[in-house]
Amino acid sequence: MFNIAIYQPDIPQNTAAIIRLCTCFNTTLEIIEPCGFQLNDKRIKKVAMDYLDKSKIIIHSSYEDFLTKKKNSRIILMTTKAKKNYTNFKFKLKDTLLFGRESEGVPKIVHDNSYQRLKIPLKKNSRSLNVSMAAAITLTEALRQNSLM
């Protein structure tokens, strides 16, 4: 199955929404620290509700730790800076769909270490989607392509 990874998230409610998404689609969430909040933050519990107890979450202490554990995986970075649309890419089972920090995205090293960089096309002059919404759109396309929906 697919994994969703979030790079140094800084909005707990978005992380909680992604926890719910991953739980509903039997997907593992990988969180790359440091986070901009404590993982036991009450705002996470409020949005994630009882999904938190049913979720599969892996915490990586750093980006380097994440890369070490993903050595043989395809890391697909979702970024507004990509040229290729997510609908023009063939997702494979076991891909890791990586999303950046809400306030800053990801640094160049993350771009450089990604198997592919993809974007969700938006209307002109739109900056970006909420990270949890982008994760939902991308995950459902990956599931659809692999006949898992």
Q: Are 82 and 118 in contact (CB under 8 A)?
A: yes
3-class secondary structure, 121: coil
The 10 Å CB-count burial string (b at 16+, else e) for 7-26 is: bbbbbbbbbbbbbbbbbebe
Whole-number Å distance between alpha carbons of 41 and 59: 15
Q: Are 8 and 33 in contact (CB under 8 A)?
A: yes
Structural domains in the chain plus CATH codes: 3-145 (3.40.1280.10)
Strands 116-119 and 75-78 come out as parallel
Is the whole-model pTM more than 0.85?
yes
What average pLDDT is seen over the chain? Answer: 91
At 50, the pLDDT band (50, 70, 90 cuts) reads confident
The pLDDT tens digits for 78-122 are 999 999 999 999 999 999 999 999 888 999 999 999 999 999 999
Percent of the chain exceeding pLDDT 90 equals 73
